Amino acid sequence: MAHCIFADPVQHCFTTPNPPYRKGARPARIRAWFFAVAVMSYRQWFHELDQLLAQHRGLWQLRPFSLRSIPWQEQWPDLAAAISRLSLPQVNALSEQPHRLYEMLGEYFPDAHRLHRLIQVPPAPIQQQFGDDERLSYEVPGRKWQQIRAFVQALPARNLPLLEWCAGKGHLGRLASQAMAAPVLSLELDPQLCQDGQRLADRLQLAQQLQPCDVLGRQVRQYFQAGQQALALHACGDLHVALLRQGCQHQVQALAISPCCYHRTREDLYQPLSTAARSTNLQLSRQDRQLAVQESVTAGQRVRRLRDQEVCWRLGFDLLQRQLRGCDEYLPVPPLKTQLLTQGTFTDFCHWAAERKQLVLQGPIDFEALEQAGRQRHLQIRQLELVCQLFRRPLELWLVLDRVLFLEEQGYQVSLHEFCARNLTPRNLLIQAQRRGSASQEGGWSSRAQA
């Protein structure tokens, strides 16, 4: 394909057939699509991603919001020129279709094709079949319930008691308990959520106990048993890491974890889990790890519009504050109320932000020109974020594979799949682990060869 970006990049690059991992694809095509990574062990997969992330860290280990220019423009001039020609609608369209983004930017950054190959994760085979009992989904938002259903459908049937981690009202444990005919102990920090969840479980006469517990505290140890299957859907940062460590320490028989929010940890610098991750030269700050989860496919049009408006206003004020302070540095501004966005103007926002940062607005100020400049900077930032986006899923997979390798080192047979489509949740990676040598290792548990 020859420089489609200079004609109509969005239309041109969006005309190729759907990739074979889409719904309805033939099994043979799916196998061919995943073959490139399927033949690798998880350790080899990790090292491939680690090499590319480290080699090109200058493209993604940055903070676009605080930059006034493209820092890597001299090294990648064609790539810089390509993204600079994109309009905001084209940027938004590419952001929402990652496979098209890899295809288009791959013309100017060849390793984009390698990255795209390495982020292909097979879908989880369906292990559980169950009906749609509306009583189970009572008080559960629709999209969250679909995520829970997809998660439970991917769990192999076992005759094991369940341990639900960071349970909330125990929605996941409630469905898993019924589908697998197993008792479940659901741990949750908030006592009120435990009471509400227990009420729902009792109404259905399920063998579910919701227990108030700080899973980061010592008292959590009393709830572990060797013959358990532990479940965690979107437990954040230190919370799911605590389950990995405690589960391995107490030798639970099986774990099923979908990680989330890798940046929500006590330590700013990432603390690797596996031997492979500890031996790498790649260091990840909290800001770096935020990149892995900076994707939203669930926000409505109004939310997106207000978010874009806020960013433009903040960028316009950033230009103003640099002039007022005589300092060419970014100045963080605290969160603002939605009411200011919906009922105020950019001028109102500037007065509000100046007051919060103890700045005096002196002399004639062209707020209209600043607001327009903020919109232009917003476009430039979104263009720069497109390149960062090439590394978002690879970075998340690097973090998830660190967890996979840790479990393998602790004596578990491990599998990694996508348990649902991206448009249901971008955090759709599912780690399943079963202790080696345990009974009834069902189908669907194909661990990769050890490197």
**pLDDT, tens digit (0-9, with 9 covering 90-100), for 179-237:** 999 999 999 999 999 999 999 999 999 999 999 999 999 999 999 988 999 999 999 99
Q: What is the pLDDT of residue 149?
A: 95
Give the model's pLDDT for residue 438: 67
Judged by DSSP in three states, 38 sits in helix
Average pLDDT value for residue range 256-265: 96
Pair 313, 287: CB distance under 8 Å: no
Measured between alpha carbons, how far is 244 from 266 in angstroms, rounded to an integer?
Answer: 16
pLDDT tens digits for 390-430? Answer: 999 999 999 999 999 999 999 999 999 999 999 999 999 99
pLDDT digits (tens, 9 = 90+) for 133-174: 788 888 888 899 999 999 999 999 888 999 999 999 999 999
CA distance 142 to 149: 11
Measured between alpha carbons, how far is 38 from 25 in angstroms, rounded to an integer?
18
Beginning with the edge strand found earlier in the chain, give each strand of the sheet holding 162-164 in spatial order: 208-212, 184-188, 162-164, 229-236, 254-260, 429-435, 412-418
Residue in this structure with the two tokens 């008691």, named with its chain if needed = 161
- How would you class 330 by CB atoms within 10 Å of its CB: exposed for 0-12, middle for 13-18, buried for 19 or more? middle
Least confident of 11-25, 152-166, 434-448: 11-25
Tell me whether residue 235 is exposed, middle or buried, using C-beta atoms within 10 angstroms of its C-beta: 0 to 12, 13 to 18, 19 or more.
Answer: buried
The 10 Å CB-count burial string (b at 16+, else e) for 268-304 is eebebbbebbeebebebeeebbbbbbebeeeeeeeee
431 closest CA partner among 193, 186, 143, 121:
121
Q: What is the pLDDT of residue 296?
A: 66
> Which residue type occupies 107?
E
Q: Cα dist. 256→13, 107, 163, 186, 251 in Å?
A: 37, 39, 10, 14, 14
The percent helix, strand, coil of the chain (3-state, each to 5) is: 50, 10, 40
Q: For strand 254-260 and strand 184-188, is the pairing parallel, antiparallel, or unpaired?
A: unpaired
Mapped onto helix, strand or coil, the DSSP state of residue 33 is helix
Q: Quickly list H helices, 154-209.
A: 171-180, 191-203
Q: Collapsing DSSP states into helix, strand and coil, what is residue 236?
A: strand
Q: What is the spatial distance between Cα 389 and Cα 295, in angstroms, rounded to a whole number?
A: 9
Report helix, strand or coil for 132. Answer: coil
Tens-digit pLDDT profile for residues 92-102: 999 989 999 99
pTM: 0.86
What is the tens place of the pLDDT at every residue in 339-377?
999 999 999 999 999 999 999 998 899 999 999 999 999
Asked if the model's pLDDT at residue 4 lies above 50, the reply is no
Residue 447 or 176, more confident:
176
Q: Per-residue confidence at 439, pLDDT binned at 50, 70, 90?
A: low
Cβ-in-10-Å burial (0-12, 13-18, 19+) of 56 comes to buried
Which 8-state DSSP code applies to residue 261? -
**What is the distance between the alpha carbons of residues 364 and 358, in angstroms, rounded to a whole number?**
19
CA distances to 67, 112, 192, 205 from 59, in Å: 13, 12, 45, 54
Q: Are 290 and 270 in contact (CB under 8 A)?
A: no
Q: Are 185 and 223 within 8 A, CB to CB? A: yes
Q: Phi/psi class of residue 187: alpha, beta or left (left: φ > 0; alpha: ψ in -120 to 50)?
A: beta
Task: Look at residues 12, 74, 101 and name the one whose alpha carbon lies nearest to residue 388.
Answer: 101
Task: Give dist(CA 160, CA 146) in Å, integer.
Answer: 24
d(CA 352, CA 34): 52
Cα separation, 383 vs 389, whole angstroms: 10
The mean pLDDT of the chain is 88
pLDDT band at 299 (very low <50, low <70, confident <90, very high): low
217: left (phi over 0), alpha (psi -120 to 50) or beta: beta
Radius of gyration of the chain (CA): 24
User: Which range is most confident: 7-11, 38-42, 241-245?
Assistant: 241-245
